[in-house]
Structure 1
Amino acid sequence: MIVFRYLSREVLVTLSAVSAVLLVIIMSGRFIKYLAQAAQGVLDPGVLFLIMGYRIPGFLQLILPLGLFLGFLLAYGRLYLDSEMTVLSATGVSPQRLTVYSMAPALIVALLVGWLSLGLAPQGVASVARILNEQDALTELDTLVPGRFQSLRDGSRVTYSQELSPDRSELRGVFMSEKRFSTDGTSERGITVLVAESGRQEIQEDGSRYLILENGYRYDGEPGEADYRAIQYDTYGVLLPKPEVAIEASEREATPTRELFGSSDPRMQAELQWRLSLPLLVFIVTLLAVPLSKVNPRQGRFLKLLPAIFLYMAYLGLLIAARGALDKGRLPAALGLWWVHGIFFAIGMLLLYWERLSLWWASRRAPVSEVAHG
């Protein structure tokens, strides 16, 4: 029991450290993407941390199996280097028993991954989609920051306001620059610059929104040429573009797991099998990691680390490829993703019993060699 607690503690501590590092790396890259969108006025800066919080379950469901795999390799590899595994082997802890001990922390991680993949991750995706839809329902004036030039989402319009009322309905010191295109939208025909002392947002009965500019000028021309047309106006209306809804994830990823059961849609079946595969992935990578963690003290701790990571990447990559094939109806639902797990389960069993198989094969060849010499 002491040995079991010691091994579990070593693996779980290493798992926590590795998973925390991987989570920070992945979240940093995604946060930079959202931060760039917030700087462009596409997202409200106030929702950035809320979005990242909802995305954490989706990140963790993929990070934890890899963290556990690396945790076994690093923790058990250190024990082999320090000859602690040699002592355990001398006391009767065989590789098979070590695998049984390792399944306890794997069970904890599998339950956590199952909770994430079947419950929290779909809820997080749905919440992120709802937030992004709400952000897309905002016009450029709703995300406008006073004193900053803001580019519209397609880059065709730049808006600036010196002052903005608290309710965002009144603007002071307005500047707008917009590209003009041909009727077919293929070629640029110059720019239009609008300046005004003030402006206000007006909503029509059909839901369309206008920016009403007052006491200003309109300039039409092409950059680099002196032929400009200037028009002075008292009131000028600018139609604000209707929002385009852009959902970051597909609808099936946000579908609750209970709704996936019994569905005949190949896409829904692929999503269900993917969510069920992640907890199963934890047990199979444990079966792979235990024999791969065995290292020779003379060879170093990281000799088998790179081949082991390649094996894990092959496992995950094959799962993703099978998911895509199942999604497109190229694989029957009964076969689904399970054949991939079967292949790597067989590889894990082969690695686990490799020494016994080698001894058995040597014993089978020994009599043949003796007869030949005789």
Structure 2
Amino acid sequence: MIVFRYLSREMLVTLSAVTAVLLVIIMSGRFIKYLAQAAQGVLDPSVLLLIMAYRMPGFLQLILPLGLFLGILLAYGRLYLESEMTVLSATGMSQQRLTAYTLVPATAIALLVGWLAMGLTPQGISSVERILNEQDALTEFDTLVPGRFQSLRNGSRVTYTEELSQDRSELGNVFISEKRESSSGKGEGIGVLVAEKGRQEIQPDGSRYLILENGYRYDGLPGQANYRVIRYDTYGVLLPRPEVAVEVGEHEATRTAELIGSDDPRDRAELQWRLSLPILVLVVTLIAVPLARVNPRQGRYLKLLPAVLLYMVYLSLLIAVRGAIDKGHWSPDVGIWPVHIVFLAIGLLLLYWEPMKLRLAARRSAGEVRHV
């Protein structure tokens, strides 16, 4: 039990460190993307942290298998490099026994990944969809930030207000610039609106208008001096809705209970993908244990790059077959299980390859002794 606790602690500590680093990298990239949308007025800044919290289970379900794989390689590689594994082997620690010890914490990680994949991740994605749909229902008026130029409609419209009341009902010193087709057909014109005040008005059909007061409208073509200037007391501007990109698939938010028994190939592909993630954890454990064995003279990282490439091929094949099932190019009855079977066979081959070579060498040596 002392050896088991020691090995498990070494592996789990490395797993935690690798997972934390990968999670920070991935979440930072995604947070920057959401932050850019908030800066453009597409997303409300107050929902950014909530979105990231709901997306975290989806990130973890993919990071944990890789973190476990790298954790085994790095932790056991250090033990081999410092000859601790040699001492354990001398006391009767076989490769199979080491694998059995490793599978115990790996099974706990697999159960955690299964819980994330089948429970928390769909709930989180469903919550993100709800938040994004609420954001999509907002208008330009609802996402305005005073003192900041806000770009909408792929940059064709820019809005600015110097002042905004606490209840977001009144604006002060408004500026709106919008690209539009010239009435003469000679190119793309620009329309500019400036006003002292602005307020929102909701029509019976649900459409919203920004009512501007005491301002000017300028229309013309860039580079030409024939601008048209109109002074107005009241002017109405239709408020467009920000376009929020939904980054999740149609079936990723579906509850696992609803996927079971469905005949839809896309539902079956999603269900098989969720079931594959905990299986992935166990299979990569079988692959990582023999690959972690290194010669102290060769260095700790000799097999790290080939091992990571093998893992990436495994995950890429799972994703590719899942996409093929989703598009109807692969039978859902066959599913993605052949990929698991192939890499399970690779893991077993790697696990028993060294003992087989030792047995063959021992038999060859015994035969040579008898021959002499």
Question: Which category of TM-score, normalised to the shorter sequence, fits these structures?
Answer: over 0.9
Preserved CA contact (<8 Å) 2:11 2:75: yes
Query: Secondary structure in 1 aligned to 2:175?
Result: strand
Distance 1:366 1:93, change over 3 A: closer
Query: Quick check: 1:282 aligned with 2:281?
Result: yes
Moved over 6 A (4+): 363-370
Q: Deviations over 1:215-259 (max 9, x none)?
A: 111110011111101111111111112455642212200001000
Give the counterpart letter for 1:290 in structure 2. Answer: V
Q: Deviations over 1:298-327 (max 9, x none)?
A: 011001111100110111011111111111
What's the C-alpha RMSD, in Å, of the aligned pairs? Answer: 2.1
Preserved CA contact (<8 Å) 2:77 2:293: yes
> 1:22 & 1:273 partners in 2: Cα distance?
25
Moved more, 76-85 or 359-368: 359-368
Query: Secondary structure in 1 aligned to 2:140?
Result: coil
Distance 1:118 1:201, change over 3 A: same
Q: TM-score, normalised by structure 2?
A: 0.95
Q: TM-score, normalised by structure 1?
A: 0.94
Query: Secondary structure in 2 aligned to 1:264?
Result: coil
The residue aligned with 1:230 is 229
The residue aligned with 1:318 is 317
Distance 1:109 1:366, change over 3 A: same
After superposition, residues 10-21 of structure 1 pair within 5 angstroms as 10-21=10-21
Query: Quick check: 1:40 aligned with 2:40?
Result: yes
* Long gaps (5+) in structure 2: none
Compute the displacement of 1:154 (Å).
2.1
> 2:366 & 2:77 partners in 1: Cα distance?
37
After superposition, residues 328-339 of structure 1 pair within 5 angstroms as 328-339=327-338
Preserved CA contact (<8 Å) 1:78 1:301: yes
Distance 1:92 1:368, change over 3 A: closer
Query: Secondary structure in 1 aligned to 2:293?
Result: coil
Preserved CA contact (<8 Å) 2:43 2:143: yes
Preserved CA contact (<8 Å) 2:210 2:236: yes
The residue aligned with 1:99 is 99
> 2:91 & 2:127 partners in 1: Cα distance?
53
Distance 1:28 1:246, change over 3 A: closer
> 2:126 & 2:21 partners in 1: Cα distance?
26
Preserved CA contact (<8 Å) 1:179 1:188: no
Query: Secondary structure in 2 aligned to 1:252?
Result: coil
Preserved CA contact (<8 Å) 1:172 1:197: yes
Give the counterpart letter for 1:305 in structure 2. Answer: L
Distance 1:269 1:357, change over 3 A: same
Moved more, 156-165 or 240-249: 240-249
Distance 1:49 1:115, change over 3 A: same
Percentage of pairs with the same residue: 75
Compute the displacement of 1:169 (Å).
1.6
Query: Secondary structure in 2 aligned to 1:254?
Result: coil
Distance 1:245 1:38, change over 3 A: closer
Query: Secondary structure in 1 aligned to 2:155?
Result: coil
> 2:186 & 2:21 partners in 1: Cα distance?
48
Give the counterpart letter for 1:252 in structure 2. Answer: H
Query: Quick check: 1:149 aligned with 2:146?
Result: no
Query: Secondary structure in 2 aligned to 1:263?
Result: coil
Compute the displacement of 1:148 (Å).
1.4
Give the counterpart letter for 1:78 in structure 2. Answer: R
Query: Secondary structure in 2 aligned to 1:41?
Result: coil
Query: Secondary structure in 2 aligned to 1:110?
Result: helix
Query: Secondary structure in 1 aligned to 2:34?
Result: helix
The residue aligned with 1:161 is 161
Compute the displacement of 1:182 (Å).
6.2
The residue aligned with 2:213 is 214
> 1:294 & 1:250 partners in 2: Cα distance?
40
Distance 1:320 1:369, change over 3 A: farther
The residue aligned with 2:291 is 292
> 1:324 & 1:358 partners in 2: Cα distance?
40
Preserved CA contact (<8 Å) 1:211 1:237: yes
The residue aligned with 1:71 is 71
Q: How many residues align?
A: 370
Q: Deviations over 1:173-203 (max 9, x none)?
A: 11111111269xx995210111111111100
Preserved CA contact (<8 Å) 2:42 2:243: no
Preserved CA contact (<8 Å) 2:61 2:277: yes
After superposition, residues 1-374 of structure 1 pair within 5 angstroms as 1-181=1-181, 188-242=187-241, 244=243, 246-359=245-358
Preserved CA contact (<8 Å) 1:196 1:215: yes
Q: Deviations over 1:142-191 (max 9, x none)?
A: 111112111114211111112111121211111111111269xx995210
Preserved CA contact (<8 Å) 1:137 1:245: no
Distance 1:319 1:39, change over 3 A: same
* Long gaps (5+) in structure 1: none
> 1:287 & 1:332 partners in 2: Cα distance?
28
Preserved CA contact (<8 Å) 1:198 1:215: yes
